[in-house]
Amino acid sequence: MKRLCLLLLAALASAQALAVGHLADVSITDRDTGMTLAAHYHRGEYWVAGRPDARYAINIRNTQGLRVLAVTSVDGINVITGDTARSDQRGYVFDPYVGYDIAGWRKSDAQVAAFEFTSVPRSYAARTGRPQNVGVIGVALFRERAAVVNVQSAQDRFNESPPPSPVSRSRGESESLDTAAASAGQAAGRATERRSESLARSPGLGTGHGRRETSVVTNVDFVREQQQPNEVVRIRYDSEANLLAMGVIRRAPTVIPQPRPFPDEPALGYVPDP
């Protein structure tokens, strides 16, 4: 029995993670508390519990020994361009083993508008007429195509200009195009799934367009290894109350004390006055 309990506990622990992905570790950080949100695995998807009005960031850490492009979306919207998301759009370029917090909607090469958990009607997606995909964060990861270059020419270019910033925006014109996008059928399936979730749910969370913050990037060239993403990381989010109602988060059952007929064996005597 003791071994069975330990195995069950180990299984429950394995259902949670702090980072998701293989080409890169992707995690969600509550910027107000500094805590990385636990990713709960439920029915084939990872979920995190957000706090209303809390600012958050998408932390991406390249685990590869080569550059990786991360095309990132929140609520179905590209976080750099504001366009309805596709994987062939612009993203962030990560040098080998570099990590970075994507903390908001990019407004310029020097500023972002902070991500913050908010009600669906106040989300950026709803306010721009696109509420259908609220509640999901996506990262399409691409390896860089290996290039055969003249060594002397490459050295000359290196000497002429400084290396790019560790985290940079990719130039859309220089990237290989990936024409595959989420189909209308997939979108309808997600909507049906959302409607079929527990009726006990309260109104969900979306991502708002918060205050402006400094976040400096540079533009660099990046050629994708292939048109299709090498990996797509998908993390869904909602309030803790809703994740509990949906069964995504399971708390240990509360042990209710049971009344005992003889809680204390007194010495021989009679009933005293109250």
Complete DSSP assignment for 125-175: HHHTT-GGGTTEEEEEEEEBPP----HHHHHHHHHHSPPPPSEEEEPGGGS
DSSP H or E segment with residue 47: strand 45-50
pLDDT reported for residue 257? 77
Per-residue pLDDT of the chain (274 residues; tens, 9 = 90+): 344 333 333 333 334 578 899 999 999 999 999 999 999 999 999 999 999 999 999 999 999 999 999 999 999 999 999 999 999 999 999 999 999 999 999 999 999 999 999 999 999 999 999 999 999 999 999 999 986 555 454 444 434 333 344 456 665 433 333 333 333 344 444 443 444 443 345 679 999 999 999 999 999 999 999 999 999 999 999 999 999 999 999 876 767 777 878 777 666 677 777 8
pLDDT reported for residue 21? 94
Q: Residue 264, exposed/middle/buried by CB under 10 A (0-12, 13-18, 19+)?
A: exposed
pLDDT reported for residue 251? 77
The residues with which 112 forms a beta bridge, in sequence order, are 106, 213
pLDDT reported for residue 23? 97
- Tell me how long the chain is: 274
pTM of the model: 0.72
| Max Cα-Cα span within the chain | 103
Instruction: Give the C-alpha separation, 95 to 66, whole Å.
Output: 7
pLDDT reported for residue 268? 66
Closest CA to 137 of 106, 120, 157, 115: 115
pLDDT reported for residue 168? 63
